[in-house]
Amino acid sequence: MEFLIDAFKNAFFLIVSLDKELLEIITLSLKVSLTALFFASLFGIPFGAFLGLKNFLGKTVILILLNTGMGLPPVVVGLFLYMLFSRSGPLGFLQLLYTPTAMIIAQFILAFPIVTALTQSAIVKVDPIIKLTARTLGATPFQVALTVIKEARYGIVAGVIAGLGRVMAEVGAILIVGGNIAGYTRVITTTIALETDKGNFELALALGIILLIISFIINISFYIIQKRGIPPNIAWL
Amino acid sequence: MALELLVSNIWKIYDNKPVLKDLSFVFNKKKVYAIMGPNGSGKTTLLKICALLEKPDRGEILYLDSQKRPLKKDINLFRKITYVFPQVGIFNASVFDNVAYGLNIRGFKKKEIISKVEDVLDFVGLSHKKRQNALTLSSGEAKRMGIARAIVIDPEIIFLDEPTAFVDAENVKIIEKILLQLKDKGQSTIIIATHDASFAEKVGDVILRLEEGRFLL
């Protein structure tokens, strides 16, 4: 019990003293995850909107693949990218293995299906009368599409936040492709795994607390955005 | 420019049952038409076909300009006509932003949008609700907002589908007053589908009875 209390005390001290190593790890974690999320949103939101607005042959297959991608095991993504980026792999010449770029690519692969599928789902849920109303008020097809996307905005942002939650908590893929190199590719989750192995619970615990706080902030944002999406009082329904 | 709407030998068939049978009519400029008929008589179908939201199985819809030339069915024509649905489609935004929508997409300047929207909200008696989320409006208020959103863009033809459905007596009176004022202004042709006989008689210049897929003349 004393050991646990000591670990918490030291962890708390590391956090309040803004330990340099701790800050470096947190900064790199946020940099990698937010960059991955930025690209996942940049490609995922338009693609999800396209899937939500258009019907075409093969759409169902794409949706099934995306839904499968939402539950993709991170270690499998890590393994796949390791094989691609390793020296003998087809993309080995890029020398990306054990770099933050490889970690961003791994997290992009994990976040993209979530952002895309949740965007598609948010778009599909928009009442068809919105599309018709926009059209009857003189909107061009492109303006109609923008209007529907705007109506789905809260659902889309919720999808982006869900993507952030997925990549921030992820460890398997980035451990394999990043290699957990101190000061270069070491992030919150990989450090927790390593330091726990070494018995250095203070740093692991401090990072665990930080991760929980980030997760808490993500969930609060998710809740607020979802709540804002629901009108306060639809009196006549 | 004033538009004339020519309905020429329209047929619409649902489940092998004709809803509209060889229906022809000319909607002249700047009049208020009230199309009456029992439920299922094809009022909404006719309105949607006229507004180019549905295609007829046979026959043709033509919009003619002042020189009687048929207009292309493109965005320029779509921007001259508008349709208010029985359950008004409401954007999850303020009443002001809902009404400003048609002006925004036409690229009007902000100052002009504010002035036009405020005028029209005043006209339908919703000025005091302009900052409120439109989804919180009552059914009657939503209808009035739908009419405001339609008239703010100065359309040549306004289609109103059951404007008094789901509306309390007080709001029916307000909607009647709005339509009578619009009629006096004489800026748009208004085509209304309704089953409310007293409303049709009060606001309509021409009352058309639709039965068994044709107008009873």
Of A132, A139, A233, nearest to B53 by CB-CB distance is A132
pLDDT for res B3: 87
Q: For A228, name the nearest residue in chain B, comparing CA atoms only.
A: B92
pLDDT for res A128: 94
> Inter-chain contact B82–A232, Cβ cutoff 8 Å?
no
Domain residue extents for chain A:
25-190
Cα A165 to Cα A158, A168, A205: the distances in Å are 10, 5, 19
Q: Is B14 at the interface with chain A, CB within 8 A?
A: no
SS3 string of chain A? Answer: CHHHHHHHHHHHHHHHCCCHHHHHHHHHHHHHHHHHHHHHHHHHHHHHHHHHHCCCCCHHHHHHHHHHHHCCCHHHHHHHHHHHHCCCCCCHHHCCCCCHHHHHHHHHHHHHHHHHHHHHHHHHCCCHHHHHHHHHCCCCHHHHHHHHHHHCHHHHHHHHHHHHHHHHCCCHHHHHHHCCCCCCCCCHHHHHHHHHHHCCHHHHHHHHHHHHHHHHHHHHHHHHHHHHHCCCCCCCC
Q: Is B91 at the interface with chain A, CB within 8 A?
A: yes
pLDDT for res A15: 80
pLDDT for res A48: 97
Q: For A144, name the nearest residue in chain B, comparing CA atoms only.
A: B105
Per CATH, the number for B30-55+80-216 is 3.40.50.300
A127-153 burial, b for 16+ CB within 10 Å, e for fewer?
A: eeebbbbbbbbbbeeebbbebbbebbe
> Inter-chain contact A232–B92, Cβ cutoff 8 Å?
no
> Inter-chain contact A129–B85, Cβ cutoff 8 Å?
yes
Summarize pLDDT for B41-81 with one digit per residue, the tens: 899 999 999 999 999 999 999 999 988 899 999 999 999 99
Contact residues, A window 144-163, toward B, CB-based 8 Å cutoff: 147, 150-151
Q: Is A125 at the interface with chain B, CB within 8 A?
A: no
Count interface pairs A-B at CB distance under 8 A. 69
- Looking at the DSSP bridge assignments, the partners of residue B216 are B209
- Looking at the DSSP bridge assignments, the partners of residue B178 are none
Of B87, B135, B138, nearest to A129 by CB-CB distance is B87
Cα B63 to Cα B56, B72, B73, B76, B153: the distances in Å are 15, 8, 8, 12, 19
Using an 8 Å CB-CB cutoff, list chain B residues near A129: 85, 87, 89
Q: Is A129 at the interface with chain B, CB within 8 A?
A: yes
* Residues of chain B under the 50 pLDDT cut: none
Using an 8 Å CB-CB cutoff, list chain B residues near A232: 133, 136
pLDDT for res A234: 44
Q: Is A58 at the interface with chain B, CB within 8 A?
A: no
Let me know: does B211 contact B54? Beta carbons within 8 Å.
Answer: no
pLDDT for res B217: 65
Shortest CA gap A126–chain B (Å): 10
Domain residue extents for chain B:
30-55+80-216
Using an 8 Å CB-CB cutoff, list chain A residues near B88: 133
pLDDT for res A203: 83
pLDDT for res B78: 95
Q: Is B103 at the interface with chain A, CB within 8 A?
A: no
Q: For B107, name the nearest residue in chain A, comparing CA atoms only.
A: A139
* Residues of chain A under the 70 pLDDT cut: 1, 229-237
Using an 8 Å CB-CB cutoff, list chain A residues near B150: 137
Instruction: State the amino acid at position B117 in one-letter form.
Output: V
Q: Is A55 at the interface with chain B, CB within 8 A?
A: no
pLDDT for res B173: 92
Using an 8 Å CB-CB cutoff, list chain A residues near B105: 134, 137-140, 143
pLDDT for res A42: 97
Could you tell me the CATH superfamily of domain A25-190?
Answer: MetI-like (1.10.3720.10)
